[in-house]
Amino acid sequence: MFEKILNISIFLVLFAVAVGILLLTRNITYFSSADFIQKENILRIGGSTTVYPFAKAAATDFMEKNLEIIITVSESSSGGGIKKLLAGEIDIVDSTRLPKDDEYDIAKQQV
């Protein structure tokens, strides 16, 4: 069971990094921080302490192969990460829970 959860977590982190790469290489205007990412080649990921080690490892590996891109990974909590995403402090949230209804409504208003 642990291996299955680990594999799913790794997949989700790699998916988040892939989305970040897309943000760095495309002009996407519906993300509030896309202009900042595109100009600075910086991707900010944050959230779940459970996902943090996997996100950090994936980001480190990616940056070793792509020296022009900086990925910062921070840990707080799933809820803290969602709050930071909604405030524009991070670009990708790694969360072990779904957004609450009020968080989802705020995100919909920002798109």
C-alpha–C-alpha distance, residues 95 and 101, integer Å: 15
Q: Which is it for the CA torsion 108, 91, 51, 75, positive or negative? A: negative
Q: 16-75: per-residue pLDDT in tens?
A: 665 555 444 444 333 444 444 555 789 999 999 999 999 999 999 989 988 888 999 999
Q: How many Cα atoms sit within 13 Å of 90 on the Cβ side?
A: 25
At residue 95, what is the residue type?
S
CATH homologous superfamily of domain 2-110? Periplasmic binding protein-like II (3.40.190.10)
What are the structural domain ranges in the chain?
A: 2-110
What is the per-residue pLDDT for 5?
Answer: 60
DSSP reduced 3-state for 45:
strand
pTM higher than the cut 0.75: no
* β strands within 5-109, DSSP E: 42-47, 70-75, 92-94
